[in-house]
Structure 1
Amino acid sequence: MAFLGLLFSMIPTLLLLASSSKFQAEARQYDVGGRDGWVAKPSEDYNHWAQRNRFQVNDTLHFKYNKGIDSVVVVKKEDFDSCNINNPIQKMDDGDSIFPLSHSGLFYFVSGNLDNCKIGQKLIVLVMAVRQPPPVTAPPPTSALPPQTVPATGLTSPAPPPSEKSGSGRVGVGLGVLVGFVLVGFIGLA
């Protein structure tokens, strides 16, 4: 019996651990542009590539490009639309740049080469909002139900108890108690 009690007491904890693990995904690194990298004319449009992916907070973007010829500039939306690289939020120019997605929302990237930006070397990334696990609620307390009242009409008196001579009632109860002890013993060993 103690084993079953312990098992049942552990169920809420196990459920909490199982449900919270769904919401804690490993951070991923995405290679922007796939095999092409960060180039002026990728085989797949950057925004199409971004729409196929689900970016989460703490993921990273890996930009691979020719150092000295190109760079990556993080900009505001207005600067993204006009290819304005003169007001950068951040500029990466080492040819092998990692950008951490530190919060949810939109991130705007353009090529630091103005001509490349004008022909479409730009990227918008939507980072999904952080999902919080649903609050775990404790199971409702087990309370005794109020006694039910049964109308007295239509009831018959209970059957008389078995006579002492037959003894069948005592054998049935004794056998039930014995089976109960055997089952508890097996459960206790498990």
Structure 2
Amino acid sequence: MDSLSFVGFFLVIFLSFLCSSQGYKFYVGGKEGWVLEPSESYSHWAERNRFQVNDTIVFKYKKGSDSVLVVHKDDYFKCNKTKPIHNIKDGHSKLKFTRSGPFYFISGQDDHCEKGQKVLVVVISPNHHKGHKSPSPVTQTPSSSPVTAPTSSGSVSPAPAPAKSDAVDVSSSVLVWVFSLIMATVFL
């Protein structure tokens, strides 16, 4: 019976680790998506959410009518669309954050950035109190090519907690957690 208890305990620990490494999925602009005149500014939307490494950001828009450009800081503030780091045009763009720091997104449509269709997302480090790790790229979800993001300099300050309506758990972490509790009850 001791070996079953050990296996159950190990399984609970392993599944708990899996749950803690999952990220959240954030839909830019909430239900409205990536549009020219959202009811809430993208700046305000980004400020009220807390983005962390392993989170995914989703831009929803009508394919062919807009795009998302990942740009450098200066190009973000100048709305310069001439030299983006990455241009995404599929209408349902998913990007996973694999490093902390700022990420700059603007609309690729003429004059949309100048009219406010842009968002600055600051991703905090999982160990932001211990120092800054060297940056690694942000990547699109599977079946997409990697996106190289601008490197950050300086420290990253935490943002407010995510709004429940915009953040969705990426995996079925709750089910895994419940399963691990059941297994712990059975084996312990």
Quickly name the TM-score band, shorter chain normalised.
0.5 to 0.7
Match of 2:61 among 37, 59, 65: 65
The equivalent of 1:28 in structure 2 is: 24
Aligned Cα root-mean-square deviation (Å): 2.7
Gaps of 5+ in 2: 1-9, 131-188
Amino acid corresponding to residue 51 of structure 1 in structure 2: E
Map 1:74-89 onto structure 2 (within 5 A). 74-89=70-85
Q: Deviations over 1:112-153 (max 9, x none)?
A: 01311110000000000122899xxxxxxxxxxxxxxxxxxx
Report runs of 4+ in structure 1 exceeding 4 Å deviation.
none
- Decide whether the 8 Å contact of 2:21 with 2:54 is kept in 1: no
Alpha-carbon separation, structure 1, partners of 2:21 and 2:65: 36
Map residues 89-104 of structure 1 onto 2, 5 A cutoff.
89-104=85-100
- Which residue is equivalent to 1:124? 120
Equivalent of residue 40 in structure 1, options 36, 39, 43: 36
Q: State the Cα distance separating 1:47 from its structure 2 match.
A: 1.0
Shift of 1:66: 1.3
Q: CA deviation at 1:41?
A: 0.3
Residue aligning to 1:53? 49
Q: In structure 2, how many angstroms separate the alpha carbons of the residues matched to 1:133 and 1:25?
A: 18
Q: Which has the larger radius of gyration?
A: 1
Aligned length: 120
Equivalences for 1:145-160 in 2 at 5 Å? Answer: none
> Which SS does the other structure have where 1:109 is aligned?
strand
> Scaled by the length of structure 2, what TM-score is found?
0.57
Distance in 2 of aligned mates of 1:42 and 1:132: 32
Shift of the alpha carbon at 1:26? Answer: 2.5
After superposition, what is the alpha-carbon deviation per residue over 1:58-104, rounded to whole angstroms, capped at 9, x for unaligned? 11111000111100000001000111111111111011110111110
TM-score w.r.t. length of structure 1: 0.57
- Give 1:25 deviation, angstroms: 4.8
Q: Point out the structure with the larger strand share.
A: 2
List per-residue Cα deviations over 1:16-51 (Å, max 9, x = no partner).
x6xx96x93521110110010000000110011111
The answer to whether the 8 A contact 1:83-1:114 is kept is: no
Specify whether residues 46 and 132 from structure 1 end up closer, same or farther in structure 2 by C-alpha distance, changes over 3 A only. closer
Q: Identity of paired residues, percent?
A: 48
* Of 111, 114, 134, the match for 1:115: 111
Distance 1:71 1:83 in 2: 14
| Structure with higher helix content | 1
What SS does the aligned partner of 1:118 have?
coil
Do the aligned residues in 2 keep the contact of 1:30 with 1:61 (CA within 8 Å)? Answer: yes
Checking the alignment, whether the CA contact within 8 Å between 2:36 and 2:115 is kept in structure 1 is: yes
